[in-house]
Amino acid sequence: MAPFTSSLQVIDTQLGPSRSTHKCAHFIDLSIICVNWNSLDCLLECVASIYEHTRGISFEIIVVDNASPEGRVETINAQFPEVIIVRSETNVGFAGANNLGFRHSRGQHILLLNPDTKLMGAAINIMLEHLKALPDAGIVGCKLLNTDLSVSTSSIQTFPTIVNQLLNVESLRLTFPGCSLWNIAPLFEENLCPIKVDVIPGACMMLKRDVFERAGLLTEDYFMYAEDIDLNYKLRQLGLSSYYIGQAQIVHHGGRSSSRQKVSQWSTVMTYKAMMRFYRMTRGHMYAALYRAAMGFAAAVRLVLLVMMFPFADRQGIKFAAAKWSTVLKWALGIGQIGVGQ
């Protein structure tokens, strides 16, 4: 069945109710929601790959423009007239923008998909088939590939703790993929069956409409980062499971939007603030305070090691790493706060 074509392609969120408020709305198989913030080039590639590889299901693509400074989002319709564009006049964050897109959707199933992704084959069809077949499925996700087509170890995650965040080093994860602190071993196995995991990341999350509603949508207390972990956690509390589908593969170029921030430390600070908020909401204020102290200690140790390594290693790489950990240390000490929330 062909994708739904809308006669109104650009929706201003200040101009009346969302489409989902209409009780007579005709439901379709899948709504694909992409949040755009200065990612138009990536988004066009993403949308093209969806139309190229997705067959036999009725779907709609909803692009939520999160007040992108570069504008031009309407040019998508010149190439893809079927795409529905929802415009937010202010940047409401990742969670708020996805929730806004959902309220304008009609799909019985929902796919939250980053704009900097590209389908490899029938990834959407494969995920949807498994989602329909798994009665306890909260979220299903796929194997994420880096731009060079290597496997991204962020494809699956365990629920974060202070310990696994302290040991969150890529070389350790790859050396011991089966360690229970992160358990990324399924990424390197040829397994055709869905595998239960703790967390499916927000780059590509598919779930049933009624499940998303039962979870209360994405928690908008997070402006950016950790809202995907929070959603997986909320669904676990509802007795549902997150599943990794290794057969489905999507390239995730990663980080292009936030990398354009004028302040390079912004995304780093926002990540740590979001994690602290998650701990506060799920484990209490004491655990959140311990996390902040532990990250400050870890940052200080890494900075000392980087200083010791400076004469013998890649100096440019050490400078970049030092800038990151200096930012983390300042955040832990409450110096020069950046972004939203603490």
State which of 206, 233, 258 marks the end of a domain. Answer: 258
143 and 251 share a domain?
yes
- Give me the amino acid identity at 46: C
293 and 253 share a domain?
no
State which of 239, 258, 277 marks the end of a domain. Answer: 258
155 and 268 share a domain?
no
- Does residue 5 sit within a domain? no
**Which residue range(s) make up the domain with 215?**
10-258
96 and 210 share a domain?
yes
The torsion angles phi and psi of 87, rounded to 5 degrees, stand at -105, 125
State which of 241, 258, 275 marks the end of a domain. Answer: 258
pLDDT digits (tens, 9 = 90+) for 205-236: 999 999 999 999 999 998 888 999 999 999 99
Contact criterion met (CB below 8 Å) for 63 and 36: yes
Q: How many domains does the chain have?
A: 2
212 and 277 share a domain?
no
109 and 172 share a domain?
yes
pLDDT digits (tens, 9 = 90+) for 117-174: 999 999 999 999 999 999 999 999 999 999 999 999 999 999 999 999 999 889 999 9
For range 296-300, the mean pLDDT: 96
CB-facing half-sphere around the CA of 222: CA atoms within 13 A: 29
Q: CA angle, corner 129, sides to 114 and 99, nearest 5?
A: 35
**Is the model more confident about 320 or about 47?**
47
| Of the candidates 205, 156, 204, 146, the residue with the CA atom closest to the CA atom of residue 182 | 156
Contact criterion met (CB below 8 Å) for 194 and 126: no
Q: How confident is the model at residue 315 (pLDDT cuts 50, 70, 90)?
A: confident
- Does residue 116 sit within a domain? yes
Both structure tokens of 78: 């010149």
169 and 234 share a domain?
yes
147 and 241 share a domain?
yes
